[in-house]
Amino acid sequence: MQPQMPPAGKDDAWMPSQLTVLERERLLKLVKSSNLKATTGDVPPIAMGERGERIPLSFAQQRLWFLAQMEGVSEAYHIAFGVRLKGRLDR
């Protein structure tokens, strides 16, 4: 039997507390059987890969390009201010 997600709620968000007792037991068994291990060690940086050719635009990127061609540049997709974040990145 495949585990199933609870019915979608607001923004499709759900919490484990919303699961039934049976669903919680299934989820716990699934997690234990997957041999997942929590790690807090260093994670290697993501390396840039070689690309032999141009990558096609996603559907969303194509849509934005099309709208920009039809309507001109829109302020809806531009942020009028910058944000500077300081501190260590939570990996």
Nearest alpha-carbon partner for 60 in 79, 48, 75, 77 = 77
What does the radius of gyration of the chain's CA atoms come to, in whole angstroms? Answer: 22
According to the model, what pLDDT value does residue 45 have? 83
User: How far apart are the C-alpha atoms of 86 and 47, rounded to whole Å?
Assistant: 23
Whether the Cβ atoms of residue 76 and residue 64 lie closer than 8 Å to each other: no
Q: Is the pTM of this model over 0.75?
A: no
Residue type, position 32, single letter: K
Inter-CA distances, 90 with 38, 44, 80, Å: 15, 14, 26
Tens of pLDDT along the chain (91 residues) come to 555 555 555 455 566 677 888 888 888 888 788 776 666 667 788 888 888 888 889 999 998 888 888 887 777 767 777 778 788 877 6
